[in-house]
Amino acid sequence: MTPAMDRAETKSRYDIARDCVHCGLCLPVCPTYLHLGNEADSPRGRIYLMRAHEEGRQAVTPAFAEHLDLCLVCRACETACPSGVRFGVMMEEFRALLRDSATSSPEKSASFAGTVGRWLLLHVLPSRGRLHRFVQMLRFVQATRMDKLAQRSGLLRLLGLDAQAALAPRVPATKERRGWPAMLPAVGKRRARVLFLRGCVAPEFLPEVQTSSIAALRHNGCEVVTPPEQTCCGALHFHLGYRPQGLRLLERNLAAFSPRADFDAVIVNAAGCGSTLKEYGQVAHEIPNLAAPAQEFAASVRDISEFLDTLGLVGPEHPVRARVAYDEPCHLLHGQGVSAAPKRILAAIPGVEIVTLAEADRCCGSAGVYNLAHPELARAILQEKIRHIAASGADTVATGNAGCILQIRSGLQQAARTEPHLEHVRVVHPMQLLAAAYGPGPIDA
């Protein structure tokens, strides 16, 4: 049973807090504790604070809120915990509580960067049209080098956006972000019919990940259906405590996916999205009209590597020459309990040499939008990841989450200024390597 499936059991956040026996096994795996050295910034410390609040011993203060806000919710503590404490559930519920608090809600003292981030989260991500227009505007800014001008002039620093702007990925050409048909047939004999989560950020910033994923599915005998009515999965909304908005997105996705009959799985190629979709039943358990369909939907969700590994991989024939270090996305490893499947897929690709990556199970610092909200701490966490990549001798890093891909790419670009050989290390989704091993034609094959 995966951690996500186990989480279907419903407990109050106070009951979850009482499961903690304060053994401290979570401390060595917590990135914020390792970097800050503060017990209150560890899972054990945060649980103590949350339990104290539930017992009326701890008020909601700015300091209390900051300790919770600094958590990446990477959930490595859940994997390490011998008592099975569902830390992610607690954090999401408490962040929702803080968001409603008149004392410490981020809305009460929001920076300009925070205001922009909230606007993007609440009004842009849920709308495919608005997101596309926003990305088109960003592409224009990059093409005209207005971003460089704003940086040199000090405008970005004045607005508090300099660290966030440094993380902005280059926007691919419009023709690369053209989308794909709602239904694509299997290559060869059909072995399965799957529904594909389109995603929000990936189609705009990483379109090659989406087309490669579809190609890999089709070459493995899957008919791929992408429901056009689907929307953002709500992962960031639940993660940051915007529960009502997340539930509205959940309801829209149930309507988009549920009427489809005769399918084998809902396929997700982003770890964070997949973890949230597998927990739809948990987050909607108190809503009468959503509880049952959300639970049924969640049971059908599979990460793409998990699904292909179970289906039985069609042997790829084209060699892909690469020394690959596999980095474990937090919400695939700790949220979904999926680790062996992507490694088996990579090992099955002819020409791929797998190299060891130290602390591959440690967070890269992306954590949804953590790298935008806490850029300095996220950068410190990322630098450790980059050091391990450099030491591995890999020329390719494979990881199954869009945010991780963009974060590690950014870190390598920064590090290449002093270590030029890192400029040639590419960061890809495992499906890009698999699709390349099946040959050309990612969509039209």
Contacts of 122 (CB under 8 A, 6+ apart): 237, 242, 245
What pLDDT is stored for residue 104 in this prediction? 47
Question: What's the pLDDT at 175?
Answer: 86
pLDDT at 105: 47
Measuring CA to CA, how many Å separate 136 from each of 140, 205, 321? Answer: 6, 11, 34
- How far is it, in rounded angstroms, from Cα 344 to Cα 361? 17
Q: What is the pLDDT of residues 82-134, one digit of tens each?
A: 998 889 988 998 898 888 764 444 444 456 666 777 888 888 888 888 989 98
Report the pLDDT value the prediction gives residue 12, as an integer from 0 to 100.
Answer: 67
Q: What pLDDT, on a 0 to 100 scale, did the predictor assign at position 9? A: 44
Q: Write out pLDDT tens, residues 336-349.
A: 999 999 999 999 99
Q: Residues 24, 13, 298, 74: is their CA dihedral positive or negative?
A: negative
pTM here is 0.90
pLDDT of residue 23: 93
Q: What is the pLDDT of residue 111?
A: 67
What are the DSSP E strand ranges found in 7-51? none
pLDDT of residue 158: 76
Across all residues in the chain, what is the average pLDDT? Answer: 89
Question: Looking at residue 150, what is its pLDDT?
Answer: 79
Q: H/E element holding 280?
A: helix 280-283
Backbone angle region of 261, left / alpha / beta, with phi > 0 → left and psi within -120 to 50 → alpha: beta
38-50 residues labelled b (16+ CB within 10 A) or e (exposed): eebbbbbbbbbbb
pLDDT tens profile 339-376: 999 999 999 999 999 999 999 999 999 998 888 888 89
- Residue 335 pLDDT > 70: yes
Position 55 scores a pLDDT of: 86
The share of the chain scoring above pLDDT 90, in percent, equals 64
- Residue with more model confidence, 381 or 164: 381
Decide: 354 and 346 in contact? Cβ < 8 Å.
yes
pLDDT of residue 295: 94
Q: Which residues contact 153 (CB under 8 A, 6 or more apart)?
A: none
pLDDT at 106 (0 to 100): 46
Which residue, among 138, 160, 159, has the nearest Cα to 147 in the 3D structure?
A: 138
- Please state the rounded mean pLDDT for residues 15-38: 90
Residues whose CB is less than 8 angstroms from the CB of residue 89 and which lie 6 or more positions away in sequence, other chains included: 7, 11, 13, 16, 282
* CA separation for the pair 89, 329 (Å, rounded): 19
Q: What tens digit of pLDDT does each residue of 157-211 get?
A: 776 767 777 777 888 888 888 889 999 999 999 999 999 999 999 999 999 999 9
Per-residue confidence band for 149, with pLDDT thresholds at 50, 70 and 90 = confident
Burial (Cβ within 10 Å: 0-12, 13-18, ≥19) of residue 284: buried
The DSSP bridge pattern shows strands 192-196 and 396-398 to be unpaired
Cβ contact 203:270 at 8 Å = no
Angle in degrees, 0-180, between the axes of helices 304-311 and 340-347, rounded to the nearest 10: 60
Amino acid letter, residue 439: G
Whether residue 215 has pLDDT greater than 60: yes
When comparing pLDDT for 15 and 182, which is higher?
182
Confidence class for position 8, pLDDT limits 50, 70, 90? very low
Distance CA 379, CA 364 (A): 9
d(CA 426, CA 394): 9
Q: Read off the pLDDT of each residue in 21-35 and give the average, rounded to a whole number.
A: 94
Contact by Cβ (8 Å): 250, 180: no
Q: Which among 302, 316, 323, 304 has a CA at the least distance from the CA of 398?
A: 323
Residues 394, 425 contacting (CB under 8 angstroms)? yes
Q: What is the pLDDT of residues 267-321, one digit of tens each?
A: 999 999 999 999 999 899 889 899 999 999 999 999 999 999 999 999 999 999 9
